[in-house]
Amino acid sequence: MNILANDGIHPAGHAALEAAGHKLWTEFIESQNLESFINKNAIDGLLVRSATKVRQPLIDGCPHLKFIIRGGVGMDNIDVAYAREKGKEVRNTPAASSQSVAELVMGHLFSISRSLHDSNRRMPVEGVEQFKVLKKSYGKGRELRGMTLAIVGFGRIGQSLAQYALGCGMHVIGVDQKSGTQNIDVVVGNQSLQVEVPVMKLNDALPMADAISLHIPAQSNGQAVIGSAEMSKMKKGVILLNAARGGVVDEDALLEALDSGQISGAGVDVFVGEPKPRQDLMRHAGISLSPHIGAATGEAQERIGLEIAEIVAEIGSK
């Protein structure tokens, strides 16, 4: 089959697809040229990550296209229901990047709890002349052990994050549509310990958490899941983490909550205006920032590439 990996693919996945006899293009085609390229080269399959948008006009304009695969979890950059209605198979790789996203969230959580995100900005500029002042400013850090982490969206990524948090001695609450419990395997060396984690509704978890991490898709109505009303129910001084999707958190409400102290710090990997996020978010001292890199590790990209090759093989066998 002819396959376009428009947002790239790991060499392992590339090699697996070519070894299976597929012809692969990996150069990035701009959106205005994508329909023409797909039709000219009789592309059977389109592989995307988050940069390429696959909307109804492109789907209508490429009748030869048989399948679309999103290398990653969220598929809000694809008109999934419409593509399937038109007979095109749409798949993703939900498990491959879970560990990478979870580790990034833990990185933000460690950074915020000790103000590393802000001290790393100020030390190069003020560290020589203001060392003692900065030492005093950043001398009120918090330990993660004993804190309660609420994980909103308790699927694969949320449960991977729970493993790390439990390993650090945190208390974990899962937040999902159904209440109950979920067993989480915590790996310690060569041993595995099973821990039962309570799962509850969002409004019940908000006032209990010292830190809250979001792992839910963008809402179809475009509304934020966490806005000023939800923030008002949180503990004062809570840490908020978003490595899910821009728009899940109301950015205006987040800035207000940071300025008031209702939220003490935020770890943000995703933004409403990507790839041009708003300047006031970028410059706020209370936000630990990263440029949508949750799944951007070599290990995750290799797993994604190999999983894509497996999905293509499965589609080809039908």
Active site residues: 245, 274, 292
Instruction: List Cα–Cα distances, 85 to 38, 48, 56, 108, in angstroms.
Output: 20, 19, 11, 40
Q: Specify whether the CB–CB gap between 198 and 174 falls below 8 A.
A: yes
Tokens standing for residue 301? 């990209």
3 φ/ψ sector (left φ>0, alpha ψ -120 to 50, else beta)? beta
Sequence-distant (6+) residues with CB within 8 A of 159 are 98, 174, 182, 184
Distance CA 312, CA 196 (A): 37
